Amino acid sequence: MADVRSETESNSPLDVAPRTAAAYLDPHYWNERFAAEEHYEWFKDYSHFQHLLRPFLSPSHSVLEIGCGNSRLCEELRRDGVADITCVDISPVAVERMQNRLRDIGLEGIKVVQADMLDMPFGGESFDVVIEKGTMDVLFVDSGDPWKPRPATVDKVMKMLQGVHKVLKPEGTFISISFGQPHFRRPLFEGQGFTWSVDWKTFGEGFHYFFYTLKKGRRMSDNKECGSERPSMPSISLLHEELEDENYIFRTTICEELET
């Protein structure tokens, strides 16, 4: 992962990494982490997927970012011309620090709201684009077998997706940037009641991240083969070499069942 942090503004990610991946489900963990950490960019920063995201953005769009943490994505979107941006995070510490930072750099027009993505405080059809980077993946850290995730995991993921589907405008787009491979994510994205199409691309060198685009109002046949690749699951040792820092811990749990 390109290191987008400078010495002065970020802790080593291992200073704030949890002992077990289950901590990623705990809002207290995120509060403590964000109290100590200035900036950490999960997966990759905007420069790596800007070419994929831009076609879905326009200056007139309203954009919701779910689980902003201390990422700089919202700033980058603003600099790319998107005026109406709302960020949410479950951590009040992340929200307060993000608000302070945006005020300090003169971007207070970006709204930052504390909210649980499983119960979002927005009316139906509010946003043209909803984007999340690494946030939905948090729900999978205790999913068990990725081929057959626990019912509790599926319930939470479906709740999140139903919320996203609800707040999207009729022709809006949900962008999900994820470790999760299409054979694990498609059955959820294509759940009953969703009127969106599901497509994806990949980005990154060595290890590929998935850039999903779900376009509301364009549901396609359940048998449609989409995306450009059918990746196989890389081994943990390969991932360890290719995934620097904490992304490895996150990913290890997501696919550990495959290794046994």
Contacts with ligand SAM by CB under 6 A lie at 30, 41-42, 67-69, 71, 88-91, 94, 116-118, 133-135, 138
Report the alpha-carbon angle 211-71-153, nearest 5.
55
Query: CB-wise, 47 or 195, nearer to ligand SAM?
Result: 47
Query: CB-wise, 65 or 199, nearer to ligand SAM?
Result: 65
Q: Is 82 left (phi over 0), alpha (psi -120 to 50) or beta?
A: beta
Distance between CA 144 and CA 237 in Å, rounded? 20
Q: How far is the CB of 41 from ligand SAM (least distance, A)?
A: 5
Q: How far is the CB of 39 from ligand SAM (least distance, A)?
A: 9
Q: How far is the CB of 134 from ligand SAM (least distance, A)?
A: 4
Q: How far is the CB of 115 from ligand SAM (least distance, A)?
A: 6
Tell me how crowded residue 61 is: count the other CB atoms within 10 A of its CB: 19
CB environment 206-225: b (16+ within 10 A), e (fewer): ebbbbbbbbbbeeeeeeeee
Query: CB-wise, 88 or 167, nearer to ligand SAM?
Result: 88
Q: How far is the CB of 120 from ligand SAM (least distance, A)?
A: 8
Query: CB-wise, 74 or 214, nearer to ligand SAM?
Result: 74
Distance between CA 204 and CA 210 in Å, rounded? 9
CB environment 161-195: b (16+ within 10 A), e (fewer): bebbbebbbeebbbbbbbbbbbebbbebbbeeebe
SS3 70: coil
Q: How far is the CB of 137 from ligand SAM (least distance, A)?
A: 7
Query: CB-wise, 73 or 197, nearer to ligand SAM?
Result: 73
Q: Please provide the DSSP assignment of 85-106 as one string.
A: EEEEES-HHHHHHHHHHHHHTT
Count H helices and E strands in the chain, helices first: 10, 7
Query: CB-wise, 91 or 176, nearer to ligand SAM?
Result: 91
Q: How far is the CB of 198 from ligand SAM (least distance, A)?
A: 21
Half-sphere exposure of residue 186: CA atoms within 13 angstroms, side-chain side = 17
Query: CB-wise, 117 or 198, nearer to ligand SAM?
Result: 117
User: H or E stretch including 238?
Assistant: helix 236-242
